[in-house]
Structure 1
Amino acid sequence: MIFRAVCLLAALIGGPVAWAQSQAEALSMLSRAVTASQNLSYAGTFVYQSGANVETSRIAHYVDSDGNSIERLEVLDGSPREVVRINDEVRCYLPKEKIVIEDRRGSRKTFPSLLPESINSLGEFYAIKRGASGRVAGFETHSVLLEPKDGFRFGYVFWIEAQTGLLLKARMVNERGEAIEQFAFAQLEIGLPLSREDVRSRMAAMSEGWAVHSASTTTGQNVDVGWVASAPVPGFRQIAGMRRSLGPDRPDMVHMVFSDGLAAISVFIEPFRKEDGNFIGPMKHGAVNVFKRRVGNFIVTALGEVPPHSLLRMVEGVEQKR
């Protein structure tokens, strides 16, 4: 009887300790992944999958002697597209449309740099623990599981390369553990002696005369845009607020971004037009859920890779400041 009691006490004490150790180890692995994506040079091919949509891209990442992070991404399926990023400055080349889009990366993250720099805050909304080991693109990896603590966000699984810490595979899952979307390297070389030439745009030379569209804001980040989310989704705080120009003959569009550190919800507010009348309510585009609501003479659109009821709650709480 005494032996059983001692074993039970050991289990009660050891359970939380083991869980805390697992979480601390998992957080350390995620932190390594953040550093690796910023500091390593690598080149490879990865596959993005969302439902029936599959897209393959080639990526090269280089860090120069001044510490600048330079990246070139080429989409290999469908219409040709090339994205070149130097730190937070992004240029997207669309040769079919003969358009160059200039923007700042801001809060948007791209594979394999999906994780936020502040990892510890994720533990408030996700149960974080180490998962099983495995192989991705020929590399040994350890996995980290992020299970949501409520129904306002999806879960994630990250596969991290054992030696360098680079993120090699990322999967978003629903409440049943089913994949919603996934990024995974199919071929990868880490630590290559790359040069500036390896990440230089291949389309810049042919883009002379193309239309240049600047998606930059007309005001600074996180400014007072005259709108507020009175009842935001739990865990999602506003990280940006801006006005975006839609052209010389149209009013500016308000854009607010809310994030829990990993998932993000974008809210767009623009004047109501007659053609918007048939598109009120929920919609879905691949892994991205969308919800539109009319507020007076405006259309409020919320979109993000979160459950539909999270977007409904967000748009129902958006209102103009009085």
Structure 2
Amino acid sequence: MKQIWLSVCLLTGSLLHSNIASAQPASGAILQQMSSASRSLNYELAYISISKQGIDSLRYRHAVFDKQPLGQLLHMDGPRREVLQRGGGISYFEPGLEPFTLSGDHIVDAMPAIVFADFDYLAKYYDFISVGRTRISDRSCDVFRIVARDGSRYSYVVWMDTETKLPLRVDLLDRDGETLEQYRVISVLVGDQVKNLMKGLLEANLPPLLTLPAAENVKLAWNTGWLPEGVNEVARNRRKLPNVAEPVESRLFSDGLFSFSVNVSPSGNNVGQQFYRQGRRTIQTEIRNGNEITVVGELPPSTAKRIADSISFKVSAQ
């Protein structure tokens, strides 16, 4: 199978009060406050990220100067790895790599995607369920579940600071309720002290913006017959991969919360259906009519298979 790259510990509910409620529109409005607070407040979060691959400890700082956001994500263990945000530029500093800057409105590596989500859009396809209140890092939290109505995606449980609306814990669950990933805050600092710590970033010498190739209007001879509700195509391309003779055609899809790609290329063998899952990411491959179809991304295996099975190819005119 060609390798195509796209870029869990605690059970939920064990410490919750018994204040369980059904899905409510008001819950979406409260969750939207989390997104707004994460973009507008001056704060520092020290947290751990737990997944099947291990435990990482990180520190995230955010401040706003004259409507310009500043951010810093620092890996606290091992070689120094850092991501900085100044305005609409996200700069990456990794050991052994030349620093570079990409365009973006927030550091996507910092916190789970649900934190910066557009809940007004997601409300069409997800239920937001108020679960109750509990404590995280000695702070009162409101707890919500975010579940896709069609059952085709993973779900989230979010613990949101009642006072600041910042996320203090986020669990990503598979459809069996197993925790795939967990983000858990250890300490919180909010206020001008964080703004003073970030002030030096205003004058920092950051690497230049990396220029990406302009998107091409690529016409592809295949389509997806089925997609989860709310999923849209956001990009497509045709590219050559190292050591691969034929180009790979790809479509990138997202519902604003989860992303995946569908990749099609001529098959060089007759290997049948294969799938691999690591944490939130699934790779589903099948061979059909001389084509290799690979679905890669943040999907349950059964959803990835249904998408791969739905691919149809246009018949060439004779």
Query: CA separation in 2, counterparts of 1:106 and 1:270?
Result: 33
Q: Measure the CA separation in 2 of the matches of 1:252 and 1:64.
A: 46
Alpha-carbon distance change, 280 to 45 in structure 1, aligned in 2, over 3 angstroms: farther
Superposed CA offset, 1:200-224 (max 9, x none): 799x78x8xxxx995834416xx54
Which residue number corresponds to residue 26 of structure 1? Answer: 27
Q: TM-score, normalised by structure 1?
A: 0.74
Q: Distance in 2 between matches of 1:140 and 1:268?
A: 45
Look up the equivalent residue of 2:126 and give its one-letter code. Answer: Y
Taking only the aligned residue pairs, the percentage that are identical comes to 18
Q: 1:294 touches 1:300 (CA, 8 Å); kept in 2? A: yes
Q: From 256, 271, 276, give the equivalent of 2:251.
A: 256
Would you say the 8 A contact 2:90–2:106 is kept in 1?
Answer: no
Q: Which of 107-116 and 132-141 deviates more?
A: 107-116
How far apart are residue 39 of structure 1 and its match?
0.8
How does 1:83-122 map onto structure 2 within 5 Å?
83-96=83-96, 98-105=97-104, 109-110=108-109, 111=111, 114-115=114-115, 117-122=117-122
Q: Assess, with a 3 A threshold, how the Cα gap between structure 1 residues 246 and 154 changes in structure 2: closer, same or farther.
A: same
Residue 101 of structure 1: how far off its partner (Å): 4.8
What is the aligned-residue RMSD (CA, Å)? 3.8
Output the CA distance in 2 between the equivalents of 1:158 and 1:255: 32
Please say if 1:287 is aligned against 2:280. yes
Which stretches in structure 2 are left out of the alignment for 5+ residues?
1-19
- C-alpha distance in 2 between matches for 1:297 and 1:215: 36
Query: TM-score, structure 2 length as denominator?
Result: 0.75
Deviations 1:136-188 (A, max 9, x none): 22321101112333331112111111112112211111233221111111122
Higher helix share: 1
With over 3 angstroms needed to count, the CA separation of the structure-2 counterparts of 1:241 and 1:129, relative to structure 1, is same
Cα distance 1:292–1:197, how it changes in 2: closer, same or farther (>3 A)?
farther
The SS at the match of 1:121 is: helix
- Counting matched residue pairs gives 292
Alignment partner of 1:124: what SS? coil
C-alpha contact 2:89 2:209 (8 A) present in aligned 1: no
The letter for the 1-side match of 2:253 is: F
CA 1:190–1:280 in 2, change beyond 3 Å: closer, same or farther? farther
The one-letter code of the counterpart of 1:243 is N
Q: What is residue 212 of structure 2 aligned with on the other side?
A: 216
**2:142–2:160 Cα contact (<8 Å) kept:** yes
Give the stretch that moved more between structures: 261-270 or 282-291. Answer: 261-270
Structure 1 distance, partners of 2:222, 2:105, is: 20
2-structure distance, mates of 1:188, 1:313: 42
1:308 aligns with 2:309: no
- The 2-side partners of 1:234 and 1:278 are apart by 27
Determine which of 211, 223, 228 is the counterpart of 1:234: 228
Equivalent position of 1:4 in the other structure? none
Go from structure 1 to structure 2 and tell me whether the alpha carbon gap of 1:213 and 1:120 turns closer, same or farther (over 3 Å shift). Answer: closer
